[in-house]
């Protein structure tokens, strides 16, 4: 059985409430949680925080099974400003070490935004791509040393279009690099063309001054490289992170592809809801039989 992991917004949750939430996960039959970007951020400030967190996990019989890297305009490996490049990479290197310390086998990265309006530079997509390659060249030795797979996630920016991500896979051909399919983001990039004026996709492409390249057969293209996936639903226009069934994601198609993905390590529930019992039941029913290996 491919492990099912659960993402939860732990930021700002006190220890007492955190333990109560863990108890809810256990009562709902969950075993695996995500080492989230916010937890990694806290861990980079205080290793003791994560040691305490893992102590609580151990008490409840839970564990971390996968991770999400630090992310955002200034955190992603494609961030193009030379002045801050070394700092960005160092923080990711430390995160990879934390993943290894907690037995996490995959860490998912956003490649980066292409906001010329924010970075104050007239950059091309190729400029951003070169920085992404450079960052991965610096991070992959750490991944190999610590036995962690770096997974690049599809979003809806030019730098994480399938054409860019598959080009990265071809460039490195590394067992420590793979892809993470995000069902919600995939739905936006495949269905947004039919929702003019409503889709959240065009503005970020417009910022770079290039037309949108809408996706087709995205998960099928990703299949040979998939090591993780983030599952949630939407209606094709906004990144809603709904529970499966509250949107128009084609779940039958996705599950059939995941079933034959040769490198799949785990799948992740990335729906945004505080109803832990309902969330766990929904994902157990969705994935329980379909993803047996």
Mean pLDDT (the chain) is 96
Segment 208-217 shows an average pLDDT of 97
- Give the residue from 188, 293, 203, 170 showing the smallest Cα distance to 239: 188
pLDDT score for 1: 79
Q: Which residues of 109-145 are buried (b: 16+ CB within 10 A; e: fewer)?
A: bbbbbbbbeebeeebebebbbebbbebbebbbebbee
Whether pLDDT at 112 is above 90: yes
Please report where in the chains the tokens 């971390």 appear, as a residue. 64
What are 191-204's pLDDT values in tens digits? 999 999 999 999 99
pLDDT score for 286: 93
Q: Where exactly are the structural domains of the chain? A: 4-287
pLDDT score for 292: 35
Going by the DSSP 8-state scheme, the letter that residue 22 receives in this structure is: H
CATH domain 4-287 topology? TIM Barrel (3.20.20)
Distance CA 43, CA 41 (A): 5
Whether pLDDT at 288 is above 80: no
Rounded to 5 degrees, what are φ and ψ at 231?
-110, 125
* Count of CA atoms in the C-beta half-sphere (13 A) of 120: 2
Distance CA 226, CA 206 (A): 29
Q: Quick one: pLDDT band at residue 53, thresholds 50, 70, 90? A: very high
Q: Quick one: pLDDT band at residue 164, thresholds 50, 70, 90? A: very high
The beta strand positions in the chain, using DSSP E, are 4-6, 32-35, 63-68, 106-110, 149-153, 177-182, 226-231, 267-269
- Residue 143 · residue 176 · CB < 8 Å: yes
């Amino acid at each position: 059985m491919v492990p099912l992991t659960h993402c939860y917004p732990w930021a700002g949750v006190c220890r007492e409430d955190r333990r109560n939430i863990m108890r809810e996960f256990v009562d709902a039959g969950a075993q695996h949680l995500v080492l989230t970007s916010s937890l990694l951020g806290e861990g980079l400030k205080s290793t003791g925080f994560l040691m305490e967190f893992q102590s609580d996990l151990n008490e409840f019989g839970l564990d971390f099974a996968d991770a999400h890297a630090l992310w955002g305009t200034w955190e992603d490996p494609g961030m193009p400003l030379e002045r801050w490049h070394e700092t960005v990479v160092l923080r990711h290197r430390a995160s990879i070490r934390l993943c290894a310390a907690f037995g996490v086998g995959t860490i998912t990265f956003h490649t980066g935004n292409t906001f010329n309006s924010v970075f104050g530079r007239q950059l091309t997509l190729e400029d951003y791509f070169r920085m992404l390659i450079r960052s991965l060249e610096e991070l992959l030795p750490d991944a190999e040393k610590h036995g962690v797979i770096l997974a690049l996630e599809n979003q809806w920016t030019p730098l994480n279009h399938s054409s860019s991500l598959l080009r990265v896979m071809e460039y490195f051909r590394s067992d420590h690099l793979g892809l993470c399919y995000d069902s919600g983001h995939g739905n936006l990039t495949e269905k947004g063309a039919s929702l003019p004026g409503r889709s959240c996709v065009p503005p970020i492409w417009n910022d770079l001054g290039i037309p949108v390249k809408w996706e087709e057969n995205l998960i099928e293209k990703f299949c040979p490289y998939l090591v993780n996936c983030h599952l949630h639903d939407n209606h094709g226009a906004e990144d809603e992170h709904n529970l499966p069934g509250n949107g128009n994601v084609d779940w039958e198609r996705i599950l059939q592809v995941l079933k034959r993905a040769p490198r799949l390590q785990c799948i992740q529930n990335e729906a945004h809801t505080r109803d832990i019992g309902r969330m766990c039941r929904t994902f157990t029913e969705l994935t329980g039989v379909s993803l047996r290996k």
